[in-house]
Amino acid sequence: MEIEIENISKSFGDVQALDSVSFDVKAGELFGLIGPDGGGKTTLFRILTTLMLPDSGHAVVAGHPLTDYHAIRRSVGYMPGRFSLYPDLSVEENLNFFASIFGTTVEENYELIRDIYVQIEPFAKRRAGALSGGMKQKLALCCALVHKPAVLFLDEPTTGVDPVSRKEFWAMLDRLRQDGMAILVSTAYMDEASLCDRVALIQQGKILTADTTENITATFGQPLFAIRTRNVYGVTLDIQTYPFTQSIYPFGEYLHYTDKREKADPNELQRFLRDKGHTDIELSVIKPTIEDAFMALAEKEL
Amino acid sequence: MASIDPIISVQRLTKKFGTFTAVDAISFEVMKGEIFGFLGANGAGKTTAMKILIGISRPTSGTATVAGYDIYKETEQIKKSIGYMSQRFSLYNDLTIRENIEFFGGIYGLTQHQIRDKGEALVEKLGLQDNYKRPISDLPLGWKQKLAFSIALLHDPRIIFLDEPTGGVDPVTRRIFWNMIYEAAHRGVTIFVTTHYMDEAEYCNRVSMMVDGKIEALDSPGRLKDKYGVTSMNEVFVRLARNQTRGKDA
């Protein structure tokens, strides 16, 4: 295990940011910490990178306990959510700076960053502050990797990034994992869960579950229907008056419906909607996505 | 319900910064009551175009009317006719819910009387009565966004501009937020929204896709998916945006 987290808790005043968090990440594993803003993701990253102490609990990172912060800091790479490089230094100067504080050189570990660095190399002399968002992100990743860390922490690297750049970023992570690095990455985008080996779902400081996405969705255990209609708003209002409705939410081009009962007949709902005057309903029984599972688990928790 | 009367009408709208053409002769119409998704990769020119439409930036050339008002000469009337919220700027954290309502109501020119009545109705509808005198910073992000949306509608604008309103919000709240959007659209408010969540693009009546300052596609999500022979808006986006040259350079 490259990261072992055991019952970590942290409060700020009367706000409990982390509530007895436990999970672990193996070498060569791409592990996603998935949940909304304010869930506690950044606080956990700060604790694991030794920038903050937990109130209680233990963690071992790259073989070292949290108290051995010198050793942990040498062994991990950390890309915080906010751009954290020196805007007045050039691309090249930033990279050399981060290499030198870790007592290494860019040349020594060039192999690891080459694929990413070649994309920003044409701008090596440009000030980091003058780079576009996507390029800043690539430089920050290079700086986090330049000392060849055993464990890589990436805090919301894809927030506010468009779908094309997100896709490219995840492809880079996939290559790094193959080199045996343990990667813990946080995101608020549920669809990125499927790109991770395992995920932990976090909300309001609590881990709702930690497992592979397949295993998480397999525990859903409620009837789930997808409904397609042109009148999304009208159907939503009418389904809210159906006595067995657990939830009705828009999901892309569909509405997802969950039923309070253990078993439900889709034809019954279809008839109910027809009686309400909805004649264009396409209704099918579907398998849950990770987002369905997150929503169901989050509602149980509240 | 979307009608066939345009409430936003844009012809060859262009904005240049020096030699850089941020918005390159875009033309489109948004219908009254429509939920219109304004999509594009980072750097495509969405924010620049939106700033012109809300009356805070002057175009280099082209014409447009928003709620019937000219974007060159009638920007003050435009600002009175629209609501605006974004992820980055919505409410003042250090003010209470009540103070935010009073502040924004005042800015939009409501009377004390209107602010009180509308403010009370809003807070009751959202179930926030108990928090009325608490600072906004005490509210979870999802609640802030719901409140910001309601406050942006306080002066009964004809159009509301939403700039990535749901970034970082949990999946349940994100959907409750969209139900609020549907409800407003149902009442006839026009919704103009940008988002990076492609499932939300599917919720729009029509979407436009900006690439390198130009509108490369504009249609309903269903027809766009048919046109490109794909099953999701995410694939439509990737298909169009990967040709973008901006942002690839630093």
- In this predicted model, what pLDDT tens digit does every residue of A11-24 receive, in sequence order? 999 889 999 999 99
A270-289 pLDDT per residue, tens: 999 999 999 999 999 999 99
Q: Which of chain A's residues have a Cβ under 8 Å away from the Cβ of B197?
A: 189
Q: Nearest CA to B35 among B204, B207, B224?
A: B204
| Among candidates A36, A165, A252 on the partner chain, residue whose Cβ is nearest the Cβ of B169 | A36
In this structure, the strands spanning B69-70 and A56-61 are unpaired
- Give the mean pLDDT of chain B: 91
At A127, list the tokens: 């000030």
Mutate to test the interface with B, among A85, A253, A290, A291 (most CBs of B within 10 A): A253
Q: What is the mean pLDDT of residues A257-266?
A: 93
In contact, B12 and B27? CB cutoff 8 Å: yes
In contact, A134 and B247? CB cutoff 8 Å: yes
Q: Given this model, what pLDDT does residue B1 score?
A: 52
B174-200 pLDDT per residue, tens: 898 999 999 999 999 999 999 888 889
Answer whether residue B90 shows pLDDT above 80: no
| Among candidates A134, A203, A249 on the partner chain, residue whose Cβ is nearest the Cβ of B42 | A134
Q: What is the mean pLDDT of residues B158-172?
A: 89
Q: How confident is the model at residue B89 (pLDDT cuts 50, 70, 90)?
A: low
Is the confidence metric ipTM above 0.85 for this complex? no
B17-59 pLDDT per residue, tens: 999 999 999 999 999 999 999 999 888 899 899 999 999 999 9
Q: How confident is the model at residue B88 (pLDDT cuts 50, 70, 90)?
A: low
Does this model's pTM top 0.90? My answer is no
At A85, list the tokens: 């490089």
Alpha-carbon span A64 to B25, nearest angstrom: 58
Q: What is the mean pLDDT of residues B60-71?
A: 97
A192-251 pLDDT per residue, tens: 999 999 999 999 999 999 999 999 999 998 899 999 998 999 999 999 999 999 999 999
Q: How confident is the model at residue B2 (pLDDT cuts 50, 70, 90)?
A: low
Q: Given this model, what pLDDT does residue B250 score?
A: 43
Question: How close, in Å, is residue A74 to chain B by CA atoms?
Answer: 30
Residues 26-45 of chain B with CB under 8 A from chain A are 40-43
In contact, B32 and B79? CB cutoff 8 Å: no
What DSSP element (H or E) covers A265?
none
Answer whether residue B15 shows pLDDT above 70: yes
At A162, list the tokens: 């468009």
Answer whether residue A119 shows pLDDT above 50: yes
Share of chain A above pLDDT 90, in %: 79
Alpha-carbon span B87 to A10, nearest angstrom: 27
The beta strands (E) that lie in chain A are given as 3-12, 15-25, 30-34, 56-61, 64-65, 76-79, 151-155, 182-187, 198-203, 206-211, 224-228, 245-251, 254-259, 282-285
What sign has the CA pseudo-torsion B199, A167, B161, B106? positive
State whether residue A169 sits within 8 Å of chain B by CB: no
CA A80, chain centre distance (Å): 13
Alpha-carbon span A299 to B173, nearest angstrom: 11
